[in-house]
Amino acid sequence: MSGIKAVSMTLCYTCVAVSMITVLIPQKRTRRMMSFVVGLFFISTFMTAVSAQVSEIDLDPAQISEIPIPTYGEGIAEDTVAQLTADNLTQALRELLVNEGIEPKDIQLTLKISDEGRISVVRAVIYISEKDITKTAQIKSIIYRNISKEPEIHVTGEEAHKMAE
């Protein structure tokens, strides 16, 4: 960016100088020769500025080993990312089910982060009340469409759910 700024400044200064010299050129025989000299001066100044800046440009792309990678406890970061993702995904699934008239008692997701950084659902458990037992197929369909994992569905009463926690 500084190279572009330097070339631009040189171009501006050269234009001002050429304009001032052009005004001072007499109108007679020497005008043609002086215009040629001033044009040559303008072009050479511009080319010198550009070539000086082009030589400073590093055209080699950075190697992966040269890119600094921040160091921190990766296990902690992965756990935090997995927990945040699980929380957000649980909330989104809860909203989808509530929009369909299904009130889940609890949704538990187990996530895994691969070496490539992909997050996938390993296990999904949905706890529903006895009144939603007829909607089991619909629940499985909604969950599978959104997380590509068929959930385990457990029907619980109020007392059984509290014991499971």
Give 153's strand partners: 126
Residue 74's pLDDT is 54
3-state secondary structure of 78: helix
- 92-103 average pLDDT score: 89
Tell me if 137 sits within 8 A of 84, measured CB to CB. no
Q: With bands split at pLDDT 50, 70 and 90, how would you rate the model's confidence at 152?
A: very high
Residue 125's pLDDT is 92
* Best CA proximity match to 155, nearest among 139, 89, 144: 139
Does 113 or 109 have the greater pLDDT score?
A: 109
DSSP H helices, 25-157, are 30-54, 74-99, 136-147
Residue-wise pLDDT for 112-131, tens only, equals: 877 777 778 888 999 999 88
Q: How many CB atoms lie within 10 A of CB 16?
A: 10
Tell me if 93 sits within 8 A of 74, measured CB to CB. no
Residue 161's pLDDT is 44
